[in-house]
Amino acid sequence: WMVTVKINGQQVTWDKPMTVQQYLQTQGHTAARVAVEQNGRIVPKSAYAVQPIQDGDTVEVVSFVGGG
């Protein structure tokens, strides 16, 4: 079983099911500091733990950077 998705323009493949939250954790992202778009739709933070990333999805992860 393989999942191939495009994340921030790069093709990524892994061999197990993964939710948005699990993906963010594997990449060291803090959920409170990112926004996630999946197939052109914003994923609500409240759904990160249950929203699966599925084969063929296109995902964009945008990090917020503080400053002033």
pLDDT of residue 16: 87
Would you call 59 helix, strand, or coil by DSSP?
Answer: strand
Distance between CA atoms of residues 60 and 68, nearest Å: 25
Which among 6, 5, 7, 28 has a CA at the least distance from the CA of 16?
Answer: 5
Give the count of beta carbons closer than 10 Å to the beta carbon of residue 1.
7
Q: Identify the burial level of 52 via C-beta atoms within 10 angstroms of its C-beta, where 0-12 means exposed, 13-18 middle and 19 or more buried.
A: middle
Q: What is the pLDDT of residue 51?
A: 97
pTM score, whole prediction: 0.90
Mean pLDDT for 33-60 is 97
At 67 the pLDDT is: 66
Distance of CA 22 to the CA centre of its chain: 8
